[in-house]
Amino acid sequence: MLKKVLSKAMLSVVMDKKARGRLETAQEKAQQATSPDAPPRRASPEELRLAARRALETAERELAGKPRLTGERKALIQQALAVRKHQTRILDELGPDQKIKLQAMALEAFGLDPTKNGR
């Protein structure tokens, strides 16, 4: 409360009455917009179209900056996916004890403590 009184007193020194009135009005509007009990304002269809258009333009610029998918690149990605699928099948065929041993070896190889689950 004291802060509010001092703030108004300081504003009266710095701002004229008309400017203080505009500031208070702007603060009230901002408070109403952020208050949780105030009903949310619905965007107009034109605002929604404008926002969608901006998002689309941003996405198009982002896609234009990415490298094109050439035939060689596509083949490389397909090959990598096939290798990963094959390696996953190999790991699925391991028994529970072998999986634990493999996990411990991997943690040790990365310099982590296997007794603390990698921490």
Q: Residue 44 pLDDT more than 80?
A: yes
Confidence bin at 43 (pLDDT 50/70/90): confident
User: Residue written as tokens 């179209």?
Assistant: 49
Give the integer Cα–Cα distance in Å for 11 and 9.
5
pLDDT digits (tens, 9 = 90+) for 54-95: 999 998 888 888 877 888 989 999 999 999 999 889 888 989
Q: Residue 33 pLDDT more than 60?
A: yes
Map residue 43 onto helix, strand or coil.
Answer: coil
Burial code (b: 16+ CB inside 10 Å, e: under 16) for 66-84 equals: eeeeeeeeeeeeeeeeeee
Q: What does the pLDDT read at residue 38?
A: 56
Give the integer Cα–Cα distance in Å for 32 and 63.
39
CB 102 within 8 A of CB 94: yes
**Across 16-31, average pLDDT:** 78
pTM as predicted? 0.33
